[in-house]
Amino acid sequence: MSVVAAIVLRVTTRPRLLLIDGHSMAFRAFFALPAENFSTSTGQHTNAAYGFTSMLINVLRDEAPTHVAVAFDVSRKSFRTEEYPEYKDGRATTPEEFKGQVPLIQQILDALGIQWITLDNYEADDILATLSHQAGAEGYETLICSGDRDSFQLVTGDTTVLYPVKGVSELARMTPEAVEAKYGVSPQRYRDLAALVGEKSDNLPGVPGVGPKTAAKWITTYEGLDGVIAAADAIKGKAGQSLRDHLSDVMRNARLNKLVTDLELASRPEGLAWSGWDAEATSEIFSVLEFASLRDRLASQLADKRIGEDPEPVGATEVAEADLAVLEPGQLAAWLSARAGTGRIGVAATGEFKHGAGRLSGLALASDGHHAWLDPSALDEADENALAAWLADPTATKAVHDAKRFGLACRSHGWNLDGVTSDTALAAYLVRPDLKSDSLEALATRYLGRELNPRTAAAQPTLDGLETDGENEAAANLAALAAATRDLAEVLDGELASHNAAGLLADMELPVMTVLTEMEAIGITADVAHLTGLESTFAAEAAEAVAAAHAAVDQTFNLRSPKQLQEILFDKLGMPKTKRTKTGYTTDADSLAGLYATTQHPVLEAILRHRDREKLKQTVSGLLAEVAEDGRIHTTYQQNVAATGRLSSKDPNLQNIPVRTDAGRRIRQGFIVTEGFETLMTCDYSQIEMRIMAHLSGDEGLIEAFKSGEDLHTTVAARVFNVEPGSVDAEQRRRIKAMSYGLAYGLSAYGLSQQLGITPEEARGLMEEYFTRFGGVRDYLRTVVEEARKAGYTETMFGRRRYLPDLNSDNRQRRDMAERAALNAPIQGSAADIMKIAMLNVHRALVAAKVKSRVLLQVHDELVLEIAPGEAPEVEKLVRAEMASAAELMVPLEVSVGTGGDWDTAAH
């Protein structure tokens, strides 16, 4: 007992200094966490700040330092660049997403009561070296957290480097023994080894052909770098000669990598005492940065270092003391009856989901203060009837995350789902359509300050106050997800209201979700024999292209290898160089197409044909892989991926099938009408984006062009080029069509020039001519960006918002991207909304007409229906009417309809 007390006394009385290289660890955090998954509602990227703070909390908890400081570089310029201007020149340009995050980290440090230090003309390493040198002389134990190996020269018996080996979550303890075991030299001689080997990240070239092992051997043999330099003439072999040839580099490296230990700093170690974190200040900055989970971790893991009271975080909803009912057969009906009229119930489920179906293996329900779990496969007849009735009851309101997938699983059990008033995935998407991470755990962290991990049952949080044994742990964890879904729905209801999006969820997205559930469950029949033959055809054509490429250069090579392509095209054939990359010159499709346009070399034609056929083969292979046991393809529609509101699909991606090429048509021939039905029918909007452009801009010339009933692009070209419509040639029409659609997508003059193969000056002149004839379009495009800049968002005709904080960014590249998004979001978004309204109206009309025909697919601006015998005339009339009346525009919504036994034949 006395021995233990003595050990504790020694640990707690000796001061422990934690020093952190701020820029080094911030960069590590930045590259460890995807930038697109960490940003505030204002668009500020926070991945570096989040990762750094997470690491800091862990180290403060695990190491319990008494003194703390963080050092930052001021810039890349220092006394080292004065001697060697190329110092650190090899480093890539700082990513745009990283810029602005270091000041955020410094604000966090201020709130945590941790000092941060900078010094002009010196690096953070030098600050850490000075402080650790001072601390060692004063009897401190020192920990240096840095991703820079130069810090290893500071390691002693009292100084340990915490070196990141995996992002910033895993740190290796580099003690004198660890340094020597890894590099073969003591820490005091690590600088000597680095001088010989060089440091790529600092752009300090070492001795060619000399690696760490050889360098360590020399240093040991000759007792340090000075001895190696003195004995350079005696070292034999190629390595010795290489050393003699590069001695000046070695001596320069040794001067530059030596850390400064005698700087004049404002604080010495004793002035870096850490008394704790300010609860109010950290709550404020974490709220601004939306770091709810870090706020909770700080409060729970470093509670003893709290100063002041932490206010309740906005939007955090704790799960109340609750009972968990693990329902046995015969108990569900009573549980549901007791919850009737108590408000919305959160739902979470586990199971297998694929090919438009699924089977549930666990179901959790969360009411206000009451939670239940049940096994859907173990229900008795009374319980199954009660569950089916509750699921289908529109007055029994429910909150579900990804309700479409849950609805598909319910259908597989023979149950219908209704009464969903919040799909938290869709609600979060409407609030922030650009947010990439919409998982339940990410949203619970963001809005509730609650950590969830639905993939690891043992690590999931259980309900507050709930005692569970191992048998019920999974049930408690699933109930925690249901509770989080319910609480999240309440918070998101408020967010939707403030973003004017509550109506979009209730009247558009949730009804669309229900229709998509039915479409996915039905699927479309695949002609497997046709697709299999097509797969073989494309594979054979790809092989023929390989043979043609080899014959064109009289040499075999790997067409998939960028390195070998570079050797063939640029070294052997001497073709004009493309854009330079880290690995040479790019061989992407656009670059090779440009080269082919210039050179017409047959090897390029063969390479491009090979890539095209390989892509087509992969598309067909993907379709075949997704044919279910019922012989049908059940794609999965995604409502919350495209920021503009457009639907996308996956497994398989139907939008990936070429539309206007012969190969694309052959692939579409593999989608066929089901036995018992008469035909497929395709119905799509004609030029919907341009019609919306005419409506939003109010341009009289463009409106008249649509109302005239003539070919739009010919009519517009005639006005732009000041000729009669009959005199417009194919090239003039092509240019106007490209520009008209390009304007709706925010295309620049440079982009138009690339698309048309003309100079930027010609493209700019073409756009000026266009705007001269159609001034309303010009005025609209100017106005929409300026209004978005003031409001912070764009809006579709139906109120769908897309927030664009970068419209006011100081960074020109980010600002330009935001302006292009501001131009196209209202047009593309309105087109997406109209398509959803049309799909809903068509579906409701089919149900009201009591026909057997049904909607199977929605791709781009097209609906694909399966028509029952004898119903084609009635359904065509119905679809035309419903699609044409989906929105009131200043120009008519034109609908094209076609029929046929397969998707291609049904095209028009």
Domains of the chain, residue spans? 14-176+260-272, 323-523
The answer to whether 587 and 562 are in contact (CB under 8 A) is yes
Tokens of 242: 């290489």
| pLDDT class of 597 with cuts at 50, 70, 90 | confident
Q: What is the structure's pLDDT at 91?
A: 61
- Three-class secondary structure of residue 890 per DSSP: coil
Residue 587 one-letter amino acid: T
Burial of 726 (0-12, 13-18, 19+ CB in 10 A): exposed
CA distance 135 to 160: 12
Share of the chain above pLDDT 90, in %: 56
Position 11 pLDDT exceeds 60: no
Q: Where in 605-706 does DSSP place strands (E)?
A: 632-633, 636-638, 648-650, 671-672, 679-685
Q: Which residue has the higher pLDDT, 12 or 504?
A: 504
Is pTM beyond 0.75 here? no
How confident is the prediction for the chain on average, in pLDDT? 88
Q: What is the structure's pLDDT at 125?
A: 92
Q: Is beta strand 801-803 parallel, antiparallel or unpaired with respect to 793-795?
A: antiparallel
- Three-class secondary structure of residue 537 per DSSP: helix
Which of 54, 51, 48, 53 minimizes the C-alpha distance to 97? 48
| pLDDT class of 42 with cuts at 50, 70, 90 | low
**pLDDT, tens digit, for every residue of 209-218?**
888 899 999 9
User: What is the mean pLDDT of the segment spanning 861-872?
Assistant: 97
Which of 579, 576, 570 minimizes the C-alpha distance to 598? 576
Alpha helices (H) in 585-708, listed in sequence order: 589-599, 602-625, 662-668, 688-697, 700-707
Please say whether the dihedral angle defined by the alpha carbons of residues 251, 252, 254 and 258, taken in this order, is positive or negative. Answer: positive
Tokens of 814: 């980010």
The answer to whether 866 and 680 are in contact (CB under 8 A) is yes
Residue with tokens 């346009």: 597
CA distance 140 to 138: 6
**How many CB atoms are located within 10 Å of the residue 349 CB?**
23
Q: Is beta strand 636-638 parallel, antiparallel or unpaired with respect to 679-685?
A: unpaired
Q: What is the CATH number of domain 14-176+260-272?
A: 3.40.50.1010
Topology of domain 323-523 in CATH is Nucleotidyltransferase; domain 5 (3.30.420)
User: What is the mean pLDDT of the segment spanning 319-334?
Assistant: 77
Tokens of 571: 């070294």
Position 253 pLDDT exceeds 90: no
CA distance 566 to 557: 11
CA distance 686 to 692: 11
CA distance 159 to 133: 9
The answer to whether 289 and 111 are in contact (CB under 8 A) is no
Position 6 pLDDT exceeds 50: no
The region of weakest confidence among 307-321, 440-454, 476-490 is 307-321
**pLDDT, tens digit, for every residue of 684-700?**
999 999 999 999 999 99
- As a whole number of Å, the end-to-end CA separation of the chain is 89
Q: What is the structure's pLDDT at 320?
A: 37
The answer to whether 418 and 392 are in contact (CB under 8 A) is yes
Position 9 pLDDT exceeds 60: no
Q: Where in 61-178 does DSSP place strands (E)?
A: 67-71, 115-117, 141-145, 159-166, 170-174
Tokens of 12: 């707690």
Q: Max Cα separation, the chain?
A: 104
- Three-class secondary structure of residue 473 per DSSP: helix
| pLDDT class of 672 with cuts at 50, 70, 90 | very high
The answer to whether 306 and 277 are in contact (CB under 8 A) is yes
User: What is the mean pLDDT of the segment spanning 604-626?
Assistant: 95
Alpha helices (H) in 33-78, listed in sequence order: 47-63
- Three-class secondary structure of residue 620 per DSSP: helix
Q: What is the structure's pLDDT at 313?
A: 40
User: What is the mean pLDDT of the segment spanning 675-685?
Assistant: 97
- Three-class secondary structure of residue 187 per DSSP: helix
**pLDDT, tens digit, for every residue of 450-507?**
767 544 333 333 343 344 444 477 888 899 899 999 999 999 999 999 999 999 999 9
**pLDDT, tens digit, for every residue of 90-144?**
566 778 788 789 999 999 999 999 999 999 889 999 999 999 999 999 999 999 9
Residue with tokens 């810029």: 99
- Helix axis angle for 124-137 and 22-32, nearest 10°, is 120
Alpha helices (H) in 554-601, listed in sequence order: 562-566, 589-599
Position 230 pLDDT exceeds 60: yes
The region of weakest confidence among 87-96, 171-180, 383-392, 689-698 is 87-96
The region of weakest confidence among 62-76, 308-322, 436-450, 772-786 is 308-322
Angle at 251 between CA 245 and CA 255, to 5 degrees: 155
User: What is the mean pLDDT of the segment spanning 653-681?
Assistant: 93
Which of 224, 232, 237, 272 minimizes the C-alpha distance to 248? 232
Contacts of 85 (CB under 8 A, 6+ apart): none
